[in-house]
Amino acid sequence: MNDSRTDDAASTAQKKEVLSFRLGAEEYCLDILSVQEIRGYDTVTSIANTPEFIKGVINLRGHIVPIVDLRIKFRLSEAKYDSTTIVIILNLNKKMIGIVVDSVSDVIAVPVADIREAPRFGSAINTEFIAGMATVDQRMLIVVNIERLLSSDDLQLIDQVAA
């Protein structure tokens, strides 16, 4: 569903809008169409027998939404929770998932032609989950394939999507 929408956007504007966020020193971005909303971090209810990076669940207007802390998952920065901690609520395959990141920068329109295949290099996130790289205004952005990341084996947060 997401893919077709992305295609539409690409064919009309030839640009893909992405939301950029920081994890430690690196700047990542993800397809804006999978973002439902951005909110502050609130107390979560923890769930037994889950990995440390699954913080628990929150109440989002009556929906029970799991929260994943990508900072813990990728050991990128110290996981602090204060009034400035950000949660990006994603809507993937009709499921809602919240991810905790260090900060959200802005929404950038990246020309589709500028998104290159990622070279095999040592970013904290396995290249398997990287859709590509782009440079906008001298900033290097890593475009994350968030669906594949969240449906990966150790997370298993959403049903496997067709690759």
Partner 1 sequence: MSLDLSRFHATFFAESLEGLNQVEEALLSIEQRGHDKDALDAIFRAIHSLKGSAGSLGFGVIAELAHDMESVLDRLRQALMPVSAESTNVLLRGVDCLRNWILAAEAKEPMDAAAGAGLVRELQLLLQRKVEAGSETARHAAAEPAAGKRRYVIVFRPAQDFFHSGNDPARFIDELAQLGELESTVDLSALPGMQSFVPITCYLAWRIKLETAASANDIREVFEWVSNCCALEIEEAPLSEAAPESAAGEAGAARGDVAGGGAAEVRRDAGLVTMHVRTEKIDELVNLVGELVITHTMLRQTAQGLDAIKDARAVSVFAQLERNVQDIQERVLAIRMMPVNHVFGRFPRLVRDLGLQLGKAIELKISGEQAELDKSVIEQLIDPLTHLVRNALDHGIELPADRLSVGKPAKSTLSLHAEHRGGRFVITVTDDGRGINPEMVKRRALEIGLLNSLEEFDEAAMYAMLLKPGFSMAQKVSNVSGRGVGLDVVSENVRKLGGSLDIQSKLGTGTTFTINLPMTLAIVDGMIVGAGGERYIIPIAFIRECLQVSSVNVQSVVGQGQVLQLRGDYIPVINVMDICALQGGQVVQPVLVVIEAENRTIALQVDELLGQDQVVFKSLEANYRKVEFMAGASILGDGRVALILDINEIVKQHATIRALSRNQPVAAVV
Residue nearer to partner 1 on the CB measure, 7 or 42: 42
Length of the chain: 163
Residue 3 CA to residue 24 CA, distance in Å, equals 29
- Choose which of 4, 12, 49, 83 interacts with partner 1 (CB under 8 A): 49
Residue nearer to partner 1 on the CB measure, 135 or 156: 156
Tell me how many degrees the CA angle 43-90-143 measures, rounded to the nearest 5.
120
156 near partner 1 (CB under 8 A) = yes
Residues 26-45, interacting with partner 1 (CB under 8 A): 43-45
Residue 110 CA to residue 11 CA, distance in Å, equals 13
Output the smallest distance, CB 20 to partner 1, in A: 25
Contacts within 8 Å (CB) and 24+ apart, 55-60: 55/100, 58/98, 60/89, 60/96, 60/98
59 near partner 1 (CB under 8 A) = yes
Identify the bridge partners of residue 27 per DSSP, sorted by sequence position. Answer: 22
Residue nearer to partner 1 on the CB measure, 97 or 142: 97
157 near partner 1 (CB under 8 A) = yes
Output the smallest distance, CB 46 to partner 1, in A: 6
96 near partner 1 (CB under 8 A) = yes
